[in-house]
Amino acid sequence: MSSFAKVTTLRKRKYSAEAVNIDEAQSGKSPSCVNLTTHAQTFMSKPVSISWGKEDPADRGPIIATNRHEGLRNAIGAHGGSYCVYRALAVAAGKLDTEYMPQLQNTTPAIKIGPHPQWSDPKKIVTMDPYGHIITEAFPEFLAKGYDIRPTIAVTQATMDVPELKAALKEGRIKADGKYLLPGGQVRIGKAAMEPVWYLPGIAERFGVSEYKLRECLFQQTNGMYPELLTRVDMKVFLPPIGGNTAYIFGDPAFLSDESKVLTCRVHDECNGSDVFGSDICTCRPYLFHAIEECTKAAQNGGVGLIIYYRKEGRSLGEVTKYLVYNLRKRQEGGDLASKYFDCTKTVAGIEDVRFQELMTDPLHWLGITKIDRFISMSDMKYNAIVNSGIKILERVPIPKELVPDDAHVEINAKVHAGYEGGQVYGTVTKEDLEKVKGRNEAESHKAP
C-alpha cells in the first residue's frame, strides 16, 4: 500500500499528545517578552513529535518551524534559509504582520513528484523534507487545527530562454520540436525549489561524528546563534540559515525514476560570477549551458534531463573568499599557475573546499533516481558521493575543450590532475604538464585587447 493510500485509511485515527488543540498549548499571540531558549519544564513546551523516515507522513509528523506556536515547534531555526533575516527586517520595519497566515490555495505542485521509496529511507534523505511540497495533502488534520505549517519545497513549470540554446539552434546542433524546444529557442521545463531541512542524527551519521559533536560545532561556529542545538536535544530537526537548491526537469518527470529511460543529469554548484556575469576564469557557465543543451536533447530523444543547482557559492566559502583567492592567484610569484590552483584557496581559507558533496545526493533520491545514464560532470567528489549513495552512473561526460574559456585552462587542468575524470578528451595531466599551464596575471587581466 502506498504512503498516500495509508494516509487515506488512517485519517480518522486519533492523534496522540502531539495533536493537542493549539489553544491548549498556548494562545498563539506573540509573547511580550523574548525567550532566549526553550526548556520543556520551564516553558511547558509540547513539540509535535517527528519520526524521521516513516513511510506515512501522518506517522512521520509535520515540520513546525514557525514562531507562532513556540510550545509546539519541533524544529530549530527558521523557514527561508538565509532569507529569514529579511523577514525579520520586514517585521522590525512594521511591514509584515507576525500574525499573518500564508494563503496556500492554488500553490500546490504543478507537476507530480513522488512518493518514492527513498522518502522513507532515513539514510537516503536527511537534508530536506520529502513531504515539503505536499503539506496540504500530507498533514490536513494539523492544518485544520490551525497549525502553522509552511512548505519547504515548491514545484512549478516554466519556459527558459537562454542565449546559448538559441545559438545551438542557429548552428544546427539541436532542432526545435515544438514540445520541449520551441522554434524561438525557448525550452519548457518543470522545476522545484527546495529549502534545507536537516535531520541532525542523519547528518551526523553521514559525516561519521556524534550528534552531540555536530550540534556543538554548529552552535559554536554560528557564535551561539542557536542555543537550542545544545539545550533541546529532543529536537532533531534544524533549518539552517543557508541556501537551498533548485531542480530543473527537462521532459516527463515520471521518467526520472524509470530505469528504462535515459537520464542525462548535471549537479551544478553556484558560481554567480560565471553563471550570471560570464567571468572567464572558470568553466562554470559553459558547463552549465552545455548541460542545458544535453538535457534538452535527452527529452527530445524520449528520455529525461535534470539539472540541480545548489547554492554553494565559492565552494561554499562565499564570494568574498573566492575573490580574495582570485587576487592571490594573479599576484603570486609566477602568476596564475595550475600547479598552485588549490593551494591558493587553502592559503586564504585554511581549506580547499567545504561543499561536502555527501549532502548533495538527497534531491536525487527525492526525485526517485536510481540510475544516471549520462553524468555531465568531471567531478570525482560528486561522482563518488552519488555512487556511494546507491545511484548508478553509466557514463561521465566532460566539458568539450572548445567550451573552456582561455583563462579557465588553469582550473580544468588542475582539477584533472587532482582526480577529475577527463576521459579521452583530457587524458592524464601529469605534474610536468601542470607546471606548463599558466593563466593571465593581474596586469594582463586588465590590458586592453
DSSP per-residue codes, 286-304 = HHHHHHHHHHHHHHHTTSE
pLDDT in tens, the chain (449 residues): 444 444 333 333 333 334 445 554 444 444 455 566 655 444 457 889 999 999 999 999 999 998 887 788 999 999 999 999 999 999 999 999 988 988 998 999 999 999 999 999 999 999 999 999 999 999 999 999 889 999 999 999 999 999 999 999 999 999 999 999 999 999 999 999 999 999 999 999 999 999 999 999 999 999 999 999 999 999 999 999 999 999 999 999 999 999 999 999 999 999 999 999 999 999 999 999 999 999 999 999 999 999 999 999 999 999 999 999 999 999 999 999 999 999 999 999 999 999 999 999 999 999 999 999 999 999 999 999 999 999 999 999 999 999 999 999 999 999 999 999 999 999 999 999 999 999 988 777 666 55
| Claim to verify: residue 230 and residue 255 sit in the same structural domain | no
| Claim to verify: residue 260 and residue 384 sit in the same structural domain | yes
Residue 151 lies in a domain: no
| Claim to verify: residue 212 and residue 340 sit in the same structural domain | no
C-alpha span between 117 and 368 (Å, rounded): 7
C-alpha span between 231 and 251 (Å, rounded): 47
Find the CATH number of the domain harbouring 334: 3.40.50.10990
Distances in whole angstroms, Cα of residue 380 to Cα of each of 125, 287, 371, 388, 398 = 21, 16, 17, 12, 12
End-to-end CA distance of the chain: give it in Å, rounded: 67
Candidate list 355, 374, 396, 440, residue with the active-site label:
355
Extended strands (E) in 219-370: 237-239, 245-250, 263-269, 304-310
DSSP helix/strand/coil, 162: coil
For cell 526520472, name the residue: 256
**236 φ, ψ (degrees, to nearest 5):** -100, -5
Catalytic, 380? Answer no
| Claim to verify: residue 179 and residue 219 sit in the same structural domain | no
Residue 98 lies in a domain: yes
Which amino acid belongs to residue 154? A
Which of 179, 181, 191, 190 shows the shortest CA–CA distance to 161? 181
Among the three residues 211, 239, 267, which one is the final residue of a domain in this structure? 239
Q: Under 8 Å CB-to-CB from 333, ≥6 apart: which residues?
A: none
| Claim to verify: residue 253 and residue 211 sit in the same structural domain | no
DSSP helix/strand/coil, 126: coil
**Per-residue cell: 315:** 565552494
Residue 142 lies in a domain: no
| Claim to verify: residue 329 and residue 427 sit in the same structural domain | yes
| Claim to verify: residue 247 and residue 258 sit in the same structural domain | yes
Q: At what angle do helices 284-300 and 163-171 cross, to 10 degrees?
A: 60
Beta bridge partners of 248: 191, 307
Residue 125 lies in a domain: no
Q: Residue 77's domain spans which residues? A: 3-103+197-239
C-alpha span between 442 and 55 (Å, rounded): 56
**385 φ, ψ (degrees, to nearest 5):** -65, -45
Q: Rg (Cα) of the chain, in Å, rounded?
A: 24
Catalytic, 355? Answer yes
Q: How many domains does the chain have?
A: 2
| Claim to verify: residue 356 and residue 268 sit in the same structural domain | yes
Residue 317 lies in a domain: yes
**445 φ, ψ (degrees, to nearest 5):** -65, -25
| Claim to verify: residue 319 and residue 271 sit in the same structural domain | yes
Would the CA dihedral through 251, 253, 255, 259 be positive or negative?
Answer: positive
Among the three residues 239, 271, 295, which one is the final residue of a domain in this structure? 239
| Claim to verify: residue 31 and residue 171 sit in the same structural domain | no
Residue 358 lies in a domain: yes
| Neighbour order of strands in the sheet with 198-199 | 75-77, 237-239, 198-199
